[in-house]
Amino acid sequence: MATMNYWTDKWDLMEDVCPCDVHFNDWAAHEKLTNKTIYHFGTGTHHVVGKTQAENGSGNTVFGITASVEEYDAYVKLVTGNPKVAKNYYAYFGDIYLTNPKLLPDFDVVTLFHLCEFFFPNTASPDYGGVTDLALTALLTDKTRPGGHILFYTRSIGFDKAKPVIAEWETQRSVTRVGEFKTLLVYRKSS
């Protein structure tokens, strides 16, 4: 029987190495996002996206996924001591490639900062039941409301692999490239 693929490390906040989460919060402030639902792929032990959005008065809520036990443990510690964060930020532990769209609400913003970073050789096999990076991107785009945003991280360790996935996705979904913001590539869903 197969076991779930998971990340055996953790990602602490290191702006000089992986600033995507900090840049996301900067983008959300620049766009003046309020009362939006955000799906965040890759929480880090810092949980800076969920924590910031929960505490900044924007009314935004974050639903994040992590495949790291250490990152999930950091989430549990964060929210048990901070009810305001617990009310507006929910993180779950799992393999994003096993996402069931029936379990997801619709979102205004989706971050796919770690696309193509955690795909294992068995991920899309029938025995494991996961999806490809392209299918994952399509699934989360379908869960994005019209006018919503999908963001990618241009300095991701998997971005070279993600570029052709993004190019194919652009031909399959009704999305428009808005541009770049710091290290982020920003798209808007048309319909």
Q: pLDDT digit of tens for each residue in the chain (191 aa)? A: 567 666 676 656 554 446 899 999 999 999 999 999 999 999 989 999 999 999 999 999 999 999 999 999 999 999 999 999 999 999 999 999 999 999 999 999 999 999 999 887 888 888 889 999 999 999 999 999 999 999 999 999 999 999 999 999 999 999 999 999 999 999 999 97
If one looks up domain 20-189 in CATH, what number appears?
3.40.50.150
User: How far is the C-alpha of 128 from the C-alpha of 98, rounded, in Å?
Assistant: 9
Q: What is the pLDDT of residue 121?
A: 83
Please name every residue paired with 189 in a beta bridge, in sequence order, or none if there are none. 175
Q: Are strands 37-41 and 61-66 parallel, antiparallel or unpaired?
A: parallel
CB burial readout 60-86, b (16+ within 10 A) else e:
bbbbbbbbbebbbebbeebbeeeeebe
> CA neighbours within 13 Å on the CB side: how many for 158?
14
**CA dihedral (166, 136, 6, 130) positive or negative:** negative
Amino acid letter, residue 145: R
Q: Which two tokens stand for residue 158?
A: 């998997």
* Domain positions in the chain: 20-189
Q: What is the pLDDT of residue 10?
A: 60
Cβ count within 10 A of residue 7: 17
- pTM for the model stands at 0.92
Q: Which two tokens stand for residue 165?
A: 């996935």
